[in-house]
Amino acid sequence: MSLTTQDIDKIAHLARLGVSDDDRTRYTDSLNSILGLIDDLQAVNTQGIEPLAHAFEVTQPLREDIVTERNRRDDYQKIAPATEAGLYLVPKVIE
């Protein structure tokens, strides 16, 4: 697929962009080279290749799942206008 300067005009209109004549030609060439690269990538045979989540086969190091802060819920709820059973009570806003 290749774009023409008319296609660039349509794209610019949809994006509400003003494009000069010099830029129109430059954008046409740039976008056509990008589309050509995409065509090259789509032509590569990937049959039998499993998708990867990362380019390198590494695992994410995980930290220890330990509590690092003390439970301060009671301290925080002391200043709340209304609480019940460890929950904050708020006025009903949707009928």
Domain boundaries, the chain: 5-43
pLDDT for 57 equals 79
How far is Cα 43 from Cα 45, in angstroms, rounded to an integer?
A: 6
Q: Which two tokens stand for residue 10?
A: 């349509």
Look at the domain 5-43 and name its fold: Histone, subunit A (1.10.20)
For each successive 10 residues of the chain (95 residues), what is the average pLDDT? Answer: 90 94 93 95 91 82 91 94 93 87
How far is residue 56's CA from residue 7's CA, in Å, rounded to a whole number? 39
Token digits for 80?
A: 């709340």
pTM above 0.75, yes or no: no
